[in-house]
Structure 1
Amino acid sequence: MNRFVYVLLLILVSIVLSCRHIEVTERVADIPRHEWSKKTPAVVEMDITDTATYELYLLVRHTQQYRYNNLVARVAIQDTASHTLASFKVNASLVTASGKWAGNTIDDLYDHRIRLHTRVALKKNRYRFSISQLMKDDPLPFILNAGIGLQKITEKQP
């Protein structure tokens, strides 16, 4: 019986130690009339309260009628003085290897949280994230929202 209690205690301690707090901040912008014009980027602002390095995520919501399996966009990051800190092109896949929509679904809406494998060092400040669509359609129909997610990098993350 003592052995069982020790094993159970060891399992519980392992579970508690393996849990860690992940800080994620996300903001999305609505796309007017669900038609994303190349001239009108999706813009979100975020207040960063902790100077650190952050992993970037692209957030996209579209309907089932969206006709492409990807989204090509440009992401730009500016500080409060309108200095561009980073700008890069993204080609984000919206489907799984089997060709089905990836992400979370509710009825005919699909939410994607796409890791961009881009890390940025941000200081405590307010930042402006601008996402411009670079697809061949202008306007790009059936896109409801676009935005950015930030996850604070901790020492233990790969």
Structure 2
Amino acid sequence: MSNKLVEKASKIVKHAMLLAIALYCLSCDSNAIYKSYVDLKDTNWYVKNVPTFTFEVKDETVPYNIYLLVRNASQYPYNNLYVTRYIYGTDGKILSNRLEEVMLFDQKTGKPLGDGLGDIYDHKVISSRNFMFPTKGKYTIKLKQYMRQDPLPYIMSMGVSVEKPLPPKQ
């Protein structure tokens, strides 16, 4: 087999695994009002690349949990990832911004955290708990990488999930 054919087969397998992981993750969150990923070109996250997510809030009386979703390769060179998360209101003004630290690997052992398949890992990290959107309407969340490396390698995709909290178990 030629090297090009092997490389192409490897890419197809990786894409199939990513699709399977994404479908599995999407099927698990029945309480999510919005969930989306943005794939990063060549698994490099440039500072100028700011994934943007726009969604609609139909019930402003309910608190929502906002999660950051990170998909990375095991070759990612750091234990953590710093991300600045911005929430824009229906008027386009910033409602909230905060610097988040997402732990991708155990600091002592180097073992990958999150759910993995092969050398790809998915992380779902709470960003805001019980966030109250002030009105019904369209909101936007933007994510900006805040690391000292540009581009940041082996970050495959970034996403957000906005969810109604599950009722307490009785």
Report the TM range for the smaller structure's normalisation.
0.7 to 0.9
Query: Could you tell me which residue of structure 2 aligns to residue 104 of structure 1?
Result: 115
The residue type paired with residue 65 of structure 1 is: Q
Shift of 1:29: 1.3
Q: Distance in 2 between matches of 1:69 and 1:151?
A: 27
TM-score, normalised with respect to structure 1: 0.77
The residue type paired with residue 145 of structure 1 is: S
TM-score, normalised with respect to structure 2: 0.72
More strand by share: 1
1:23 equivalent to 2:35? Answer no
Shift of 1:154: 5.6
Q: Distance in 1 between matches of 2:138 and 2:68?
A: 18
Decide whether aligned partners of structure 1 residues 142 and 154 sit closer, same or farther in structure 2, where only a CA change above 3 A counts: closer
Structure 1 residue ranges without an equivalent (≥5): 1-20
Tell me the alpha carbon deviations over residues 58-99 of structure 1, each in whole angstroms, 9 at most, x when there is no partner.
100011111111110100011232111111100111124643
Query: Could you tell me which residue of structure 2 aligns to residue 56 of structure 1?
Result: 66
For the residue of structure 2 that corresponds to 1:33, the secondary structure is helix
Map of 1:114-125 to 2, 5 A cutoff? 114-122=125-133, 123-125=135-137
Segment of structure 1 superposing worse, 94-103 or 23-32: 94-103
Structure having the higher Rg: 1
| Identical-residue share of aligned pairs (%) | 28
Map of 1:6-85 to 2, 5 A cutoff? 23-24=31-32, 25-51=34-60, 52-85=62-95
Query: Could you tell me which residue of structure 1 aligns to residue 96 of structure 2?
Result: 86
Q: Distance in 1 between matches of 2:157 and 2:30?
A: 24
More helix by share: 2
- Asked if the contact 1:27/1:46 (under 8 Å) is kept, the reply is no
Structure 2 residue ranges without an equivalent (≥5): 1-28
Segment of structure 1 superposing worse, 29-38 or 134-143: 29-38
Aligned-residue Cα RMSD (Å) equals 2.1
Query: Could you tell me which residue of structure 2 aligns to residue 113 of structure 1?
Result: 124
For the residue of structure 2 that corresponds to 1:71, the secondary structure is strand
